[in-house]
Structure 1
Amino acid sequence: MKNIWKIFSNDWKNISTNWVALILIGGLTILPSLYAWFNIEASWDPYSQTDQLPVAIVNEDEGATVREKEIDVGNKLVENLKDEDSFDWQFTERDKAMDKLEYGDYYAVIVIPENFSERLGSVISDEPKKSEVEYYVNEKINAIAPKITEKGASVIVDQITSHFISEVNGTVAELFNDLGMELENDLPDIKRFEEYVFKLEENLPEIHDLISGAYSDSQRAASVINDVQDLIPQAEQTTSQGLSTIDETTAFINEAEQRLNELSPRVKEDLQKAQKTAEDVNGFLKDVQSVDLDLETVTEIKDRISNRTSQSLENLQAVEQLLQQVKEQQQNNEQNQEGNNGENNEGNSTVPQETIDQAIADVQAIEEALTTIQSDSSQIEQQITDKQKEINDTLTALEERSGETADQIDAFLTEYNENIEPKVLAEIGQAKQTLSNARSILSDIQSTIPEVESILNNTEGHIQEGQDILEYMLNEYPYVNEKVNQMADRIREIQGETDINEIIDLLKNDPGAEQNFFEEPVTLNKNALFPIENYGTGMTPFYTVLSLWVGALLLVSLLSTDPVGMAEYRSFEQYFGKLATFVSIGFLQTLVVTLGNVFLLNVNVSAVVPFVLFGLATSFVFMTIVFTLVSVLGDVGKAGAIVMLVLQIAGSGGTYPVALLPEFFQTIHPFLPFSYAVDLMREAVGGIVAARVQTDLTFLSIFAGVFLVIGIFLKGPLHKRTKQVKMKSRESGLFH
């Protein structure tokens, strides 16, 4: 320990008594701090100086007309940038800007194309197109400048986007406000519409049935129309035939009426003759009853009765024949009418069938009575010889029957004159009128058939069109049914989830407030947990640590790591004695650089005392590492210290986050003293977290301990070999 102190004190005695050494040591003490101070000052706040970075703006925007409103976003952007000093904006033409960018006078060029406003205005069209801003940058000028100018270009785009979104959303907010007012006014109609949808959903099956029924009915109607169209020619033919038949029937009735008029006098005459004959017979029988009859007289009476009766029968048979002819004519007339009209219409018969049959029955009854008289008269001759009384009874009976016959003939004659003949004539007249009406109807039908045919043809076309529509409706019914059900379900879902009154309240907003909101919808509130004043302050830990390592390198490069009179000292005494000298000078370097950061550069350090103490601890560790490498390995150790410096600058995370470094540097990061030294100094600058300080100091102590052990145990064994390598290098005349 005594020898260690002797080596240390001799070194400082020599420094203090040799002004050259004192100046050199003073320079070595201050020089590392300059390395830190210059870098910290240079990087103090570079982003506040971007207003001196020339960036060209080329505005080629021709503007646009959107809904009769002139817009010129490019010109408005230029006006805004003239009042904005984040960069040294240069407003120029494209050719000039590109030339200066290529030469390096401009760091970047931003070009607003001629269709910029037009494309922005396309937002209200069916096919909106995004606007583009052209950005040109000369990246060879500087590594950082392109990133800064790119950020500036992004800020411009963000400003345009923000303003555009603000304007668009302001307009949309106004529309929403108007829509909210309209919805509020139309709320009763909306409620009714919901009811209509639910009603439609409920009635859709019935509507489908009605459409299906209508479609089936239209098919049947089309079939009926086709059948009727097929029957039209037959109807025309039947109508023509009906007119011909009516004309023939009318002629026949006229003929029958004429014949009846001709026969009627004959019928009356025959009936009168029959009546006269019956009266003569009756009178004759009365006369005979008062006369005594002999056989000859009886025979004469019989003959006269027989003759008279025969004559009456002939007259009555003639009447019956005439009535039979009338009956046959009546039957023919009815058959003709049934053929014409296609039905049995008794109201159109010429003479009631019962009347003619009754008349024939009456004539036949009279004939039967006359035949009985004729038969009974033949019995007179047979009975005359037997009983006169019975003859008289027979004559009396003949008289009564002849009287009844005369009365019957008289009654029939009266019936014929009063009923049969007038009814027959009346029915014939009625039949003629009916046929005339029928002929008029058939004529109208015949003239109407072409019109009916035309109507049927048109109706067939309309039915076909209706069938097409009904078929289309039936085909579309599943789709309509599905959509109506979906709409009804969606309305019920919306009714369950939302209240339309709330939607109306949401739409009825303040357009100005909405526009202001969308201009900056999100505001970033920065809360710095460990605030760092500027970029220079943030880089102070790294450059301070770097300067301490550089200071150690300068010392081992200029100062000897071996004491004078080495033979009298053991290796560990040599090691610790010279290490103490280097560490003490390192402490002076640390005090200069740390206190200079605080008081000369005015770095805002959160904890000044820990900052200085952490710097001293770092200096001790770094000096131990560098001194040990050079003391044990000589010039090879110097090279090792430089290699470590290079690796630590890249891999310590002093400039970029470790996560952004290549995989190799991320791997070696935990094994670099810089990693813990920089982090330790950051704790003092930003704010101390005790756990991190403890971790950093622990690992730094480990590094120091490892190299102290190397120095203690390898200094002696490797000294001779190191000395030989050193002597050999000096023989080359290139190394001292």
Structure 2
Amino acid sequence: MLKSWSIFMTDVKNIGRNWVAAVLIGGLIFLPSLYAWLNIYASWDPYGKTSQLPVAVVNEDVGAEVRGERIDVGAELVETLKENRDMDWQFTTREQAMEHIDYGDYFAVLIIPEDFSEKLGSVISDHPEKAEIDYYVNEKINSIAPKITEKGASVIVEKVSSQFISTVNGVIFDLFNQLGIELQQDMPDIKQFEKYIFDIEKDLPNIHDLLKGTTRDAVSAQDLIHEAQGKIPTAKQSITDGLTTVNRALTFLDSAESRLNEFAPKVKSDLQKASAISKETNEFLGKVNNVKLDFTEVDRVKGQLDAKMTDTIKRISMVETDLQWLQDLSNSEEPPNAERQARLKKAIDETSGLQSLLEEAQANASSLNGLMEGRQQQLKQTLADLEQLSKNTTVRLDQFLNEYKNTIEPTVLAETARAKKTLQQAKSMLTSIQSTVPEVERILASTSKHITEGADLTGKALNEYPYIADKVRNLADRIRSIQGETDINEIIQLLLNDPQAERSFFEEPILLNENKLFPIENYGTGMTPFYTVLSIWVGCLLLISLLATDVENVEGVSSRQIYAGRLFTFLAIGLLQTIIVTVGDLTILGVHAENPAWFILFGLFISCVFMTIVYTLVSLFGDVGKALAIIMLVLQIAGSGGTYPVALLPRFFQWINPGLPFTYAIDLMREAVGGIVWQRVFTDVTFLLITGIVYLLIGLFLKRIVNRKTHQLLKKSRESGLFH
């Protein structure tokens, strides 16, 4: 150990005495930091300068008419991009854009086609079409730029889609809101409709019976109408016959009225004459009864009485005949007048009684001759009886005359006039009925047609009844199911939600609440662990490329002591390199490390491990060891996950990743930059420490053996004159 330390101290003194060596060593100490700083600075915030990335925008959209409203989404998008500073948007024509992108003046071109608005507006049609934006990118200019411009294009598409969805959903939710208001207003009608459905479901058997009954009734009604249509000709004939009969009756009544007017005075005259004769007879009998009569006088009186009685009976008989004619006339009326018939019958009976009374008086007068012989007194009594009978007859004739003038004649004339009026009304009615018969025929024909159609419809409804009944039951079951599963009031409340709030929700339905557990300020800070670890390894490569790993002109020193002594020199220079790199990251570049002290300490630890690995490889294998160190560098840059997640790497690099020192060194530095999780630190330190110890042991115990073989190979290679 003392000899090894002596070798280290000799190296330090030699560097101090030789300014050239000091300058070279100083350059080796400082040079790796430039590698780290320049790369970190170059990648400090590349995504913060995308506003300097030229991207062309070509708007060929001609707009569209959607339900009477003009829309021009392309123009709106251009106006939006003019206010956007995410990229250097260049608004130009298709020809210029494609020419400049070929030459690399534009990294990408976005072309809004002429049917952009039209296709967006097709969302309200039966066959909506997706709108398209043509995107062109020149990928040969830069490998990262296409990804950035593609992200910008995606953002544009997402923004247009979001705004479009927001607008469409705004309209939809405005409609939903109105629908909710209408549903709330129509809630009583909805409940009533549900009740109707349930009532119909309950009444389905009655409806079926009603349809069957209606069908039967329609057939019966059709038969009745056909029967009525068949009787129309008979009704026409009956009306015609009735009019004929009424006309005849009116003619007859006119004639009867004329005859009444003619014989009414004659009847009164006859009655008056009969009354006058009866009075004369009465006066004559009074005179006869007061004188003494002989047979000659009796014959003369008898003759006079007989003549007067005969004349009176004749006139009474004529009156009775006239009254009998009036009675026959009254009986021929339809309907007959009961009151007039009763009065005429009474008049006829009275004239018959008068006639009988006069005939009795005439008979008594004829018996006067027989009473003359020895029965003078009886004759006087008979004459007295005749006188009394004559008086009674006169009284009755006067009464009948008064009754005829005051009752019978006015009644007959009035009833005749009324019968005539009734017949005229009947004629008018029959004439009206006769004029309506064609309309009745038309109505019956139309009714027959409608009943036939109704019967057909009823029959069709009856045939469709099973289907309709099944649908009604299904609808009722569905309503009950919905009532059980869904509360329509909740649906209405949902529809009544604020449409603006719903629109805002669908414009951005998900908000990403980003919680940075170990926040990194920028891309450069995130890349600091990788570039710092890389610069430490590069520093080791620079040292072994310029400094010798063996000590010459030293006697009595073993290979193990030379290995350990020169290792101290390499470690010291490596630690100085690491201090400059880590402290420079923190101070010069302003990298924000959550734990800056540990950042420096972890760097020093990593430097020791890396230097041990690289130094051991070169110390044992010479130039071959340098090649191995470079190979390890290449593999570790690609497979350590310093730039891309390991999961995104090819399978080979995923396989070797767990065995690469870079994997644990970068992770250890990330812990210091972002925030320490000591379990991960323990894992990383353990792997690096074991790796360093393994290489150290290999160097200490195998250097002499390995060098014996490598010196022979080195000697042979130098014989070619190509290697030093």
Common fold: TM-score over 0.5 = yes
CA deviation string 1:492-530 (max 9, x = no partner): 4323xx6x1x55454444444444444434333322211
How far apart are 1:673 and its partner, in Å?
Answer: 0.5
Task: Write out aligned runs for 1:43-62 (5 A).
Answer: 43-62=43-62
State the match for 2:175 in structure 1. 175
2:482 equivalent to 1:494: no
Give the stretch that moved more between structures: 143-152 or 591-600: 591-600
Which of the numbers 582, 607, 613 marks the counterpart of 2:601?
613
For 1:136, give the aligned amino acid. Y
State the match for 1:197 in structure 2. 194
2: CA distance between counterparts of 1:506 and 1:216?
Answer: 47
SS of equivalent residue, structure 1 residue 127: coil
Structure 1 residues 449 and 15: alpha-carbon distance in aligned structure 2, compared to 1, 3 A threshold: closer
For 1:468, give the aligned amino acid. K
Structure 1 residues 462 and 196: alpha-carbon distance in aligned structure 2, compared to 1, 3 A threshold: closer
Structure 1 residues 168 and 220: alpha-carbon distance in aligned structure 2, compared to 1, 3 A threshold: closer
- Aligned pairs, number: 528
Q: Give structure 2 stretches of 5+ with no counterpart.
A: 239-429
How far apart are 1:675 and its partner, in Å?
Answer: 0.6
1: CA distance between counterparts of 2:481 and 2:501?
Answer: 36
How far apart are 1:167 and its partner, in Å?
Answer: 2.5
Structure 1 residues 198 and 493: alpha-carbon distance in aligned structure 2, compared to 1, 3 A threshold: farther
Q: Is the 8 A contact 2:215 2:458 kept in 1?
A: no
Q: Is the 8 A contact 2:52 2:88 kept in 1?
A: yes
Q: TM-score if structure 1 supplies the norm length?
A: 0.67
State the match for 1:482 in structure 2. 474
Structure 1 residues 47 and 456: alpha-carbon distance in aligned structure 2, compared to 1, 3 A threshold: closer
CA deviation string 1:636-691 (max 9, x = no partner): 21111111111111111111111221222112111111011001111111111222
Q: Give structure 1 stretches of 5+ with no counterpart.
A: 244-439
CA deviation string 1:369-401 (max 9, x = no partner): xxxxxxxxxxxxxxxxxxxxxxxxxxxxxxxxx
How far apart are 1:449 and its partner, in Å?
Answer: 10
State the match for 1:538 in structure 2. 526
State the match for 1:694 in structure 2. 682
State the match for 1:85 in structure 2. 85
Q: Is the 8 A contact 1:212 1:474 kept in 2?
A: no
Q: Is the 8 A contact 2:197 2:472 kept in 1?
A: no
State the match for 1:104 in structure 2. 104
State the match for 2:405 in structure 1. none
How far apart are 1:220 and its partner, in Å?
Answer: 4.2
For 2:24, give the aligned amino acid. L
Structure 1 residues 225 and 41: alpha-carbon distance in aligned structure 2, compared to 1, 3 A threshold: same
How far apart are 1:228 and its partner, in Å?
Answer: 8.2
Q: Is the 8 A contact 1:41 1:601 kept in 2?
A: yes
Q: Is the 8 A contact 1:41 1:536 kept in 2?
A: yes
1: CA distance between counterparts of 2:19 and 2:568?
Answer: 21
Structure 1 residues 518 and 475: alpha-carbon distance in aligned structure 2, compared to 1, 3 A threshold: closer
Structure 1 residues 512 and 633: alpha-carbon distance in aligned structure 2, compared to 1, 3 A threshold: same
1: CA distance between counterparts of 2:34 and 2:98?
Answer: 40
CA deviation string 1:2-41 (max 9, x = no partner): 1101111111222111122111111111111111111101
State the match for 1:136 in structure 2. 136
Which of the numbers 187, 196, 206 marks the counterpart of 1:210?
206
CA deviation string 1:16-69 (max 9, x = no partner): 111221111111111111111111011000001111111000001111222322
How far apart are 1:611 and its partner, in Å?
Answer: 0.9
2:466 equivalent to 1:470: no
Which of the numbers 541, 551, 562 marks the counterpart of 1:563?
551
For 2:65, give the aligned amino acid. T
SS of equivalent residue, structure 2 residue 690: helix
2:19 equivalent to 1:19: yes
1: CA distance between counterparts of 2:670 and 2:483?
Answer: 62
For 1:196, give the aligned amino acid. F
Q: Is the 8 A contact 1:566 1:574 kept in 2?
A: no
2:165 equivalent to 1:165: yes
Which of the numbers 619, 636, 640 marks the counterpart of 1:648?
636
How far apart are 1:614 and its partner, in Å?
Answer: 0.7
2: CA distance between counterparts of 1:545 and 1:453?
Answer: 110
CA deviation string 1:247-297 (max 9, x = no partner): xxxxxxxxxxxxxxxxxxxxxxxxxxxxxxxxxxxxxxxxxxxxxxxxxxx
How far apart are 1:180 and its partner, in Å?
Answer: 3.8
1: CA distance between counterparts of 2:447 and 2:669?
Answer: 108
State the match for 1:413 in structure 2. none
How far apart are 1:562 and its partner, in Å?
Answer: 0.6
SS of equivalent residue, structure 1 residue 467: helix
SS of equivalent residue, structure 1 residue 531: coil
For 2:191, give the aligned amino acid. E
Task: Using the aligned pairs only, state the percent identity.
Answer: 54
2: CA distance between counterparts of 1:70 and 1:451?
Answer: 59
Task: Write out aligned runs for 1:209-608 (5 A).
Answer: 209-217=205-213, 220=216, 459-495=451-487, 500=489, 503-565=491-553, 568-608=556-596
Structure 1 residues 212 and 179: alpha-carbon distance in aligned structure 2, compared to 1, 3 A threshold: closer
2: CA distance between counterparts of 1:685 and 1:493?
Answer: 57
2: CA distance between counterparts of 1:516 and 1:37?
Answer: 46
2: CA distance between counterparts of 1:217 and 1:721?
Answer: 121
SS of equivalent residue, structure 2 residue 109: strand
Q: Is the 8 A contact 1:112 1:133 kept in 2?
A: yes
SS of equivalent residue, structure 1 residue 568: coil
How far apart are 1:575 and its partner, in Å?
Answer: 0.9
How far apart are 1:572 and its partner, in Å?
Answer: 1.0
For 1:713, give the aligned amino acid. F
State the match for 1:727 in structure 2. 715
State the match for 1:150 in structure 2. 150
2: CA distance between counterparts of 1:465 and 1:516?
Answer: 54
CA deviation string 1:197-234 (max 9, x = no partner): 1442244142x32343244335545766898899999x
How far apart are 1:175 and its partner, in Å?
Answer: 3.2
How far apart are 1:173 and its partner, in Å?
Answer: 3.9
State the match for 1:294 in structure 2. none
Which of the numbers 653, 657, 671 marks the counterpart of 1:669?
657
State the match for 2:618 in structure 1. 630
